Chains A and B, each alone.
Chain A
Amino acid sequence: MRTPSQTVGPFYAIGMCRRPDNELDPGGVELAGRLLDGRGEPVADGVVELWDPAGRRWGRCGTEDGGRFSFLVPRDVPHLEVMVFARGLLRHQLTRVYLAGDVPAGHEALVAEHEEGALRFDIRMQGENATPFFEH
């Protein structure tokens, strides 16, 4: 039996955001977006973590600024793995963002939008356009 998950709560920044960790690739492209709840309101007490499995690069960004997160990510990878933590979220959620190339069936909603030289990817916890999250 494994240890169960609990929420990061509202004060995660003390332990998880002590230093800026949002540059997976300092020479990369900006990937930015917002973390939104089921009413479309920003989740301003959440954390997004990214993992580039190809280049083994990791990053993390809190969403205190109006639910916004931003990263510098490598330009040359097909996708990044995404983890979402928040107050009110008792277990973290897994999803993925596709930056380029082929997208598997069922993952069409996980493609980042290209916007003026940057990439945009909002994460919606609930609702009609909710982000697909993976079973884990």
Chain B
Amino acid sequence: MTDPYEGPVVLPDDASLGPEVQIDYPGYRSTQWRAPKHPLVTLPEELHALEGPVFGEGALEALDNDLTRQHDGEPLGERIVVHGRVVDEDGRAVRGALVEVWQANAAGRYRHQVDRHPAPLDPNFSGAGRCLTDDDGRYRFVTVKPGAYPWQNHDNAWRPAHIHFSIFGRMFIQRLVTQMYFPGDPLFPHDPIFNSVRDPKSRALLVARFDLAETQPDWALAYEWDVVLRRTPVEAE
């Protein structure tokens, strides 16, 4: 039998596997020694209604929500607005949620010592931002569209353009770290991280929508991406 970690990179869709991400997805080879394999232990009851940390304005620095204005000059690339709402599964706004983002520059290079992709760094782009959601659960960043970049998972492997998002919901178990993708990316069928979400409907929730209404004339395209966190328990209302 073929070792699944050496076999085909992307398995065919199988919705019977459920909407959740398959954490031991063989196409993503680094899962092999890192994804837990033992049966999980029942979540302690008190964690269902446990509130998580609250971050105020003190967690933010000036221009944290505008990645194009953190240096003396403007970064190269396609300027974009990324905005949306953080809500729970019942559609209720998650207010005051800390949203952290990080991304590659327009050339597909991260400002990180581990990144060896021979694409240029941009002296005017760090690629990190933060904001807090408002009373309606809204967040908004100005940035540049990240480039695709190669990685070592398999032969000729490239990640589709994406922005990393880390979100603290109100409840401890609403914590989410994920990636936002751009619509119509030709790399989608070839990316095992994207395809580790086995249900196509669930996977589609990772893809932003082009937003002409919020696109700023003569200035920047806009993308809208809502984030849906786990249900807020009734007792926490």
Binding site for B on A (CB under 8 A): 1-16, 18, 37-39, 41, 43, 45, 51, 53, 56, 58, 81, 83, 85-94, 96, 104, 106-107, 125-126, 130, 132-136
Q: Which residue of A is nearest B166, CB measured?
A: A16
With A1-B19, A90-B25, A91-B21 given, is the CB distance from A12 to B52 under 8 Å?
Answer: no
Q: Which residue of A is nearest B25, CB measured?
A: A90
Q: Is the interface of A mostly helix, strand, loop or mixed?
A: loop
Binding site for A on B (CB under 8 A): 19-23, 25, 28, 30-38, 40-44, 46-47, 50, 52-54, 89, 100-102, 104, 110-112, 114-115, 126-129, 164, 166, 172-173, 175-179, 193-194, 196-197, 201-203, 205-206, 226-230
Bound together, the chains give a CA A91 to CA B35 distance in angstroms of 9
Show 25 A/B contacts (Cβ-Cβ < 8 Å), sorted by A: A1-B228, A2-B229, A3-B226, A4-B20, A5-B176, A7-B177, A12-B164, A13-B112, A15-B129, A38-B34, A43-B34, A45-B114, A51-B172, A56-B54, A86-B34, A88-B28, A89-B23, A89-B31, A89-B34, A90-B22, A90-B193, A94-B43, A126-B38, A132-B40, A134-B42
Name the distance in Å between B106's Cβ and chain A's nearest Cβ: 15
Please determine whether A88 and B178 come into contact, CB atoms closer than 8 angstroms: no
Bound together, the chains give a CA A89 to CA B23 distance in angstroms of 7
For A6, A10, A41, A135, the residue with the greatest tally of chain B CB atoms inside 10 Å of its CB is A6
Please determine whether A37 and B34 come into contact, CB atoms closer than 8 angstroms: yes
Please determine whether B128 and A4 come into contact, CB atoms closer than 8 angstroms: no
From B40, B164, B178, contact of A15 by CB (8 A): B164
With A94-B43, A106-B41, A125-B33 given, is the CB distance from A5 to B228 under 8 Å?
Answer: no
From B38, B175, B206, contact of A132 by CB (8 A): B38
Please determine whether A4 and B44 come into contact, CB atoms closer than 8 angstroms: no
Please determine whether A90 and B21 come into contact, CB atoms closer than 8 angstroms: yes
Please determine whether A6 and B179 come into contact, CB atoms closer than 8 angstroms: yes
Question: Which residues of chain A are near B178, meaning CB under 8 Å?
Answer: 3-6
Return the 8 tightest CB-CB contacts between A and B, nearest first.
A15-B102, A88-B30, A58-B53, A88-B34, A135-B40, A38-B33, A37-B33, A6-B179
Question: Which residues of chain B are near A126, meaning CB under 8 Å?
Answer: 33-38
Bound together, the chains give a CA A56 to CA B50 distance in angstroms of 10
Please determine whether B44 and A96 come into contact, CB atoms closer than 8 angstroms: yes
Please determine whether B230 and A2 come into contact, CB atoms closer than 8 angstroms: yes
From A13, A43, A92, A134, contact of B175 by CB (8 A): A92
Q: Which residue of A is nearest B196, CB measured?
A: A90
Bound together, the chains give a CA A89 to CA B177 distance in angstroms of 11
Question: Which residues of chain B are near A16, meaning CB under 8 Å?
Answer: 100, 102, 166
Please determine whether A130 and B228 come into contact, CB atoms closer than 8 angstroms: no
Question: Which residues of chain A are near B54, meaning CB under 8 Å?
Answer: 56
For B34, B104, B178, B228, the residue with the greatest tally of chain A CB atoms inside 10 Å of its CB is B34
Please determine whether A90 and B128 come into contact, CB atoms closer than 8 angstroms: no
Please determine whether B21 and A1 come into contact, CB atoms closer than 8 angstroms: no
Bound together, the chains give a CA A53 to CA B31 distance in angstroms of 30
With A6-B21, A15-B166, A38-B34 given, is the CB distance from A92 to B114 under 8 Å?
Answer: no
For B19, B36, B205, the residue with the greatest tally of chain A CB atoms inside 10 Å of its CB is B36
